[in-house]
Structure 1
Amino acid sequence: MENQRRWPVAIIGSGNIGTDLMIKVMRGSTRLEMGAMVGIDPDSDGLRRAASFGVPTTAEGIEGLLKLPNFKDIKVVFDATSASAHRTNWELLKETGVRVLDLTPAAIGPSCIPVVNMEEHLEETNLNMVTCGGQATVPIVAAISEVAPVRYAEIVSSVSARSAGPGTRANIDEFTETTSEALVQVGGAAEGKAIMILNPAEPPMLMRNTVYALVEGEQDHTALEASIGKMVSKVQEYVPGYQLKQAVQFETFGAENPLYMPGSGEFRGTRVIVMLEVTGAAHYLPAYAGNLDIMTSAAMAVAERWAENSGVESHLTETTLQEVGA
């Protein structure tokens, strides 16, 4: 067990996600501290902010991080770049012994949804945080799976176009694939599908997610609703702005009104519809950017659990809070 006060961490990617995560670590983490902010654009707002907070910075990407004098002290690297960049970054990091949390949909390491399977991955060195849509919806599919077998799960994640930076836009295809796989591998569905929408509405809309799940046979709607409600409460422990948009909806399909599923025939059972909304904490972008908030909050929760598991004390200094304007 490592007996130190807090784990120094580095963030690769000085865009929206990386900057939001940096502010979260400095403002509210109990077991982490900023060790480095890494980018490729020396004029990026994220690098400027990091420097103003006294955080070591480099605009030379992964190579610059490896050359920083304090890299030897870094315990966790958060990669908030893109799927293709993460593959390159991991090749250079995997022999260093540092732990990596991948906030891109590269999916090199196991998929992690904190409230579902974090405890299974306390010894991993590369964890994939799936996607913002996955963090919002996979817990709900997992909650349904605890009560009934999920034959098919489909999610629609709609985020404000303003909150989607270049990395997010470049990863749309990977988003759908990685989220679909997580619905199966982590959520427990037999089959999964994900759809992402960048909504250009003005004023910007909050992040909204809809989960459609087909469960086999006759099921106890009360038990399903209770399991979903319990899971929502768990997610709210690290994402307070996460909530049900309305009551869970149920639609039953029997012999007299089966649901036809292309490619697999008739379905008899219950369709569960769950509508969610995520209000961001506005640490960096305004509250409409719930997609940033749920992703960075989930990643920070995993890193703090890693640190806790290694014996790092929990504390938060007033100096740090004042530095970031808390």
Structure 2
Amino acid sequence: MDRTKVAIIGSGNIGTDLMIKLLRHGRQLEIAALVGVDPESDGLARARRLGVATTHDGLDGLRALPVYQDIGIVFDATSAGAHIRHAEVLQADGKRVIDLTPAAVGPYAVPAVNLDQHLDAPNLNMVTCGGQATIPIVAAVSRVAPVRYAEIVASIASKSAGPGTRANIDEFTETTSRAIESVGGAATGKAIIVLNPAEPPLMMRDTVYCLTDGGEPEAIRASIHRMVASVAGYVPGYRLKQDVQFESLDADACAAILRAPTAAPGLKVSVFLEVEGAGHYLPAYAGNLDIMTSAALAAAERMVELSQRELPQGKQEVA
């Protein structure tokens, strides 16, 4: 079977790690080009050594490469601002796009939660690293108990936050908060990111708080464990750091959380996660980057798998 050719725009940490994952684990995908703007970047140098076509002239340089006409999917690992232009040009050229920035031009996609609903979208947004780690937990809770409020805190090593991450802090919180609601199922969502300067660097840690309208703790716990196993299927370093915690809250405590004059009693669910990177290009503590590239790879593989299934019988490709 011929594999679908893909390109990556962005030769920084995320783009380079994704390239390595594609080279090592791409089943139906073939990395055809890595695009950057710094001719001296380590990512472009590594791509050249590995025989991958490169350009340091950004999207315009990619479009000028001979292989561009054969590329079916483009991953954008640049910035939210840059993606706006990239999305317009790539869509006009008939390229499908997987967006690893918080631009959210296309629908939010979290592989363990809602990927199959959006596989035909021309532009798929991977939310944020915090979103990929925590939204599955909110969704796991909401499928067995109504979630009135969900708050997530993503703590990442400062060393794993490159220029793109730092430039997109506002977009991170806004995009993640919206996706907690629209994908996770919470009535109200809030996201916080912490850049931890500790030495040696700490692994990505994520805390998820959900305020529910009751619900059975054992049913919630079981749903969360099933979801953790699902995410770990494509992000092996994803795990619970400790057991799920529950606390019954009275009406006053719930009203304070919701910032409302009155509220019904509820159940507070606390989940503590750790994400260890696979170490393909980045150190193990950079789980925040690994979960993004792993989710993007899983999404693209699923997109191609579905397109192969939908080919007319007479046009099925032969392995």
Bucket of the pairwise TM-score, normalised by the shorter protein: over 0.9
- Structural mapping, 1:23-172, within 5 Å: 23-172=20-169
The CA deviation at 1:261 is: 2.9
The CA deviation at 1:118 is: 0.6
Q: Would you say the 8 A contact 2:251–2:266 is kept in 1?
A: no
Q: Would you say the 8 A contact 1:158–1:208 is kept in 2?
A: yes
2: CA distance between counterparts of 1:81 and 1:271? 37
Q: Secondary structure at the match of 2:87?
A: helix
2: CA distance between counterparts of 1:293 and 1:232? 16
2: CA distance between counterparts of 1:9 and 1:314? 20
Other-structure match for 1:309: 306
Q: Would you say the 8 A contact 1:253–1:259 is kept in 2?
A: no
Other-structure match for 1:178: 175
Q: Secondary structure at the match of 1:197?
A: strand
The CA deviation at 1:265 is: 3.0
RMSD between aligned residues: 1.5
How many pairs align? 311
Q: Would you say the 8 A contact 1:160–1:206 is kept in 2?
A: yes
The CA deviation at 1:257 is: 6.2
- Which of 274, 283, 286 aligns to 2:283? It is 286
The CA deviation at 1:110 is: 0.3
Q: Which runs of 5+ in 1 are unaligned?
A: 316-326
- Which of 198, 205, 208 aligns to 2:205? It is 208
**Letter matched to residue 88 of structure 1:** R
Q: Would you say the 8 A contact 2:11–2:34 is kept in 1?
A: yes
Other-structure match for 1:8: 5
Higher relative contact order (CA 8 A, sep 6+): 1
C-alpha deviations, 1:227-283, integer Å up to 9, x for none? 000000000000010000000000101358655235323441100000000000011
**Letter matched to residue 31 of structure 2:** M
2: CA distance between counterparts of 1:296 and 1:9? 14
Q: Would you say the 8 A contact 2:138–2:186 is kept in 1?
A: yes
Other-structure match for 2:237: 241
Q: Would you say the 8 A contact 1:31–1:314 is kept in 2?
A: no
2: CA distance between counterparts of 1:186 and 1:258? 23
TM normalised by structure 2 equals: 0.95
Other-structure match for 1:322: none
1: CA distance between counterparts of 2:19 and 2:261? 49
- Which of 203, 212, 228 aligns to 1:232? It is 228
Other-structure match for 1:270: 267
- Measured at CA, do residues 189 and 258 of structure 1 come closer, stay the same or move farther in structure 2, by a change above 3 Å? closer
**Letter matched to residue 250 of structure 2:** G
The CA deviation at 1:88 is: 1.3
Q: Which runs of 5+ in 2 are unaligned?
A: 310-316
**Letter matched to residue 4 of structure 2:** W
